[in-house]
Amino acid sequence: MGIKKYKPTTPSQRWRNISSFEEITAKGPEKSLTKPLKRKAGRNLHGRITVRHRGGGHKRRLRLIDFRRDKENIPASVLTVEYDPIRSCRIALVQYRDGEKRYIICPLGLKVNDEIVTGPEAELKVGNTLPLRNILPGMPIHNIELVKGRGGQLARAAGQAAIIMAKEGNFAHLKLPSGEIRKVPLDCKATIGQVGNVEHEALTIGKAGKSRWLGRRPATRGVAMNPIDHPLGGGEGKSSGGRHPVSPWGKSAKGAKTRKRNKASNKYILKRRK
């Protein structure tokens, strides 16, 4: 993947850069593996806004991704590498020997006509999916299950990968992209390799219009509001708020711990990300 830069014909174009999309091999998605994506604009089932600053954006269709990789011991060939408007990584369209097509997260180095397979006896190569007990320590992995059969939940964004630090009893100790070290059952599956589109972090939006295309609406700083509207509002001149950063409802916004003490997954975390 490369990065395309713009000539500074306007102030916003000076900093803007986008992906060159040179690894994309298809103009449109496989229609049988897509469905409409209804916009919610941050609203819950009662119609109340629970996530602020969401709304608008370009029309998109949801690609149905196979996170479970449950077709075992049937080789699949990569047909195309495609763009997904909903996620930062690329996706690959694969076709199994029995003719079924599925989308998977595209790891770094996977190309058209490559062959992948799922199963305990699969070769340790990029794109293959195996149980953690069959993967060697130190290998980069992604799309990792937390519960056997549920499907991959960890390390799915562009450029992400976890590493097996050790194996003890029925658990593998994984170092996640956040720095957290966590126990995951050895029977859970993971895919070999690092997620592709590594340069995604280097992209710069550059202009406000691009944020609106992505469905992100403007956000007003709390210190710029009146006291009636925000706990940080008011004050003479350019006040900094006079207290620790909080949400409009007084909940700590930076740094304070909000995790419940009795969370069931606490016992699986060996080292926190902070």
Question: Which residue type does 56 have?
Answer: G
Structural domains of the chain ordered from first start: 3-201 (2.40.50.140)
Which of the pair, 61 or 2, is modelled with greater confidence?
A: 61
When pLDDT is averaged across residues 126-134 and rounded to a whole number, the result is 92
Of 240, 206, 207, the C-alpha closest to 221 is 240
pLDDT, tens digit, for every residue of 226-247? 999 999 999 988 888 888 899 9
What residues are paired with 65 via a beta bridge?
A: 103
What's CA 196's distance to the chain center, in Å? 11
Q: What's residue 48's pLDDT?
A: 95
Phi, psi of 46 (to 5 degrees): -90, 0
Question: For residue 157, what are the CA distances in angstroms to 86, 118, 154, 177, 200?
Answer: 11, 21, 9, 10, 10
CA distances from 101 to 67, 75, 95, 217, 235 (A): 14, 12, 4, 36, 60
CA distances from 60 to 196, 204, 205, 214, 218 (A): 21, 21, 19, 10, 21
Q: Which of the four pLDDT bands, split at 50, 70 and 90, describes residue 105?
A: very high
Predicted confidence band at 264 (pLDDT cuts at 50, 70, 90)?
confident
202-216: pLDDT as tens digits: 999 988 999 999 999
Instruction: Determine the pLDDT at residue 154.
Output: 94
Query: Quick one: which of 126, 131, 102 has its CA closest to 114?
Result: 126
Confidence of residue 1 (pLDDT cuts 50, 70, 90): low
- pLDDT at residue 260, as a whole number: 78
